[in-house]
Amino acid sequence: MQKRKLGKSNLEVSAMGLGCMGMSFSYGAPKDVPEMISLIRAAVDRGVTFFDTAEVYGPFTNEELVGEALAPVRDRVVIATKFGFNTKGDSRPGAQNLDSRPGHIKEVAEASLKRMRTDVIDLFYQHRVDPEVPIEDVAGAVKDLIVQGKVRHFGLSEAGVKTIRRANAVQPVTALQSEYSLWWRKPEAEVIPTLEELGIGLVPYSPLGKGFLTGKMDENTKLASNDFRSTLPRFTPEAMKVNQAVVDLLNAMAKRKNATPAQIALAWLLAQKAWIVPIPGTTKLSRLEENIGAVDVELTADDLREIESAASKIDIEGARYPEKLEQLTGR
């Protein structure tokens, strides 16, 4: 597995990480814990060293799962988790119960350390920007945790450029986690240039469009009521029918490269910048191996120009989130 450094930090991780949220949360019922432990360990065996979780996934159960799975190999892996919600209320990400008060951040860190069976959090993200707490106070709280040896690196998620700059001035930001893929390219306008200027890595979540870019979904796909995607405008049958054009583009390139649409989508992300590390999630070994295989798919400059030309002619249908959730991003 190739390695990459997140920005100008010394945090080196596998070029492909593993998002663990869907094992416990959001995509239907929680999966079998022993099976997911086996899957996470299979990822380690195949060279993955970067694992993503959060307090609110479950809540709590995903951190426990990741901690148990990685305990035997803790010195070989990087674990990222997140703070920023008050889980005593409505704990769904997107509920308006944000809480990034410094005292709460430190409480979350202590609890996460216990759940993950570790003495240090490698990368601690603010899950969503809390407009009630100055970002300087947030960065200062994480800086204190870094000084205490409880956290190694500070991250932000879905933050706007002004917030990124203000936070970075107090405590250098190692990585920004935000949605980025061939069907969500908004970060290219302002965020990615800012990250490049400041030397901050980008960790794209949903790099496969929450499963749509794999080519395994279409307008006839029926999503269960407990599947988060059933609430998203981009996953209505009408939107999926229109957005099939993106999958067709990926399919055409995949055939030429002897790859899959998912691998082309991930290879495209890896080709954008050397400091981009996607974290596709999966609950299946076959998909894990497929995603890892994207690291070896080479897209030439001509390939990338061809994808760009075709993608520029496609108008994506549907917002990525309902308005209430979208309001929590870009602050």
Catalytic residue numbers read 57
The CA distance from 216 to 221, in Å, is 9
Q: Which residues of 235-244 are buried (b: 16+ CB within 10 A; e: fewer)?
A: beeebbebbb
Instruction: Tell me the one-letter amino acid at 262.
Output: A
CB atoms within 10 A of CB 304: 15
Instruction: Tell me the one-letter amino acid at 234.
Output: R
CB-CB contact of 192 with 202 (8 Å): yes
The CA distance from 36 to 282, in Å, is 10
Tokens read off for 300:
């030439």
Instruction: Tell me the one-letter amino acid at 65.
Output: L
Please give the distance of CA 77 from its chain centroid, rounded to a whole number.
Answer: 17
Length of the chain: 331
Q: Among residues 4, 61, 24, which one has the least CA distance to residue 203?
A: 4
CB-CB contact of 331 with 323 (8 Å): no
CB-CB contact of 113 with 165 (8 Å): no
Looking at the DSSP assignment, which residues form a beta bridge with residue 184? 181
Q: Integer distance in angstroms from the first to the last C-alpha of the chain?
A: 35
